[in-house]
Amino acid sequence: MQTDDSTCIDAKTELLRQKAGLESDKDNLNKRVADLNKQIDYLKENNTTVLKQLQDLSVVSSAQAENIKKSLDNIGSKDIYIQDLQASLARKDSLNLALVMNLKGAIGNMDDKDINIKVEKGVVYIDISDKLLFKSGKYEVTAQAKQVLGKVAAVLKNQPGIEFMVEGHTDNVPFSSGVLKDNWDLSVKRATEVVRILQNQYGLDPAKMAAAGRSEYNPVLDNSTAENRAINRRTRIVILPQLDQFFKLLEPKK
């Protein structure tokens, strides 16, 4: 078990690494936006010049001039759209980092082997080892794990717009016990057990949750060693992207 100071340093280092990655993505997006802005400025300058020349020479009809003006307006609208999209992406990155910091602060100085919170490609993941949550081959959540789930639930409850999925993951060792036929059954039962606790004991909105079993087919590492298999046996909470809001950004403004 790490000391409080070293754990805090590790957490801070991880957050800084994630922030650096997000800033790099943001810089790349800014560069693309800058290139588009240059193209827009070029088109604006040339279209304005051509329109004035045509109007001065009286060789363009009023309808044609209006069409050219509409084209210029469309370019301006696309420019505003790009700026809005860039601002929305930057806001989402900031909210994800704030969520990760709140989760790590609520959970405290737990070993990363037991619980790991991270951001990858704009999505927040909370990985909890099966060693913390369950006894071997079981799906009943331990008393200690319920306390951890309560801390996670407290943070998520303060974000009412968040939707998330609880995923059960196993290693590739064949399993069968009672009504559980295989690792598919075990992973699903573990996910639904966590969802029930979050709903019934901590009051999270069931309409905002989903449960899924991934069995052995989405491992973090290969299953060649006992240590790797232990890492693969986990329950993952995935903060789902709010796709409705993203698609709303793509809708043309009225």
**Tokens 């909370």, located at residue:** 126
The full set of domains in the chain, from first to last, is 4-98 (no CATH), 110-246 (3.30.1330.60)
Q: 116 in helix, strand or coil? A: strand
Give the pLDDT confidence score for residue 253 in this predicted structure.
Answer: 56
What's the predicted TM-score (pTM) here? 0.63
Distance CA 198, CA 211 (A): 11
Residue with tokens 């009672």: 178
Do residues 128 and 114 lie in contact, with contact meaning Cβ atoms separated by under 8 Å? yes
Q: CA-CA distances (angstroms) from residue 244 to 161, 171, 211?
A: 12, 34, 20
Is the four-CA dihedral 106, 110, 116, 118 of positive or negative sign? positive
Residue-level pLDDT at 245 = 52
Residue ranges of the chain whose pLDDT lies below 70: 1-8, 11-12, 25, 50-65, 68-69, 71-73, 76-92, 110-112, 242-254
Which residues, listed in sequence order, are joined to residue 211 by a DSSP beta bridge? 166
pLDDT 10s digits, 45-90: 777 776 666 566 555 566 666 776 676 667 766 666 666 666 666 6
DSSP 122: T
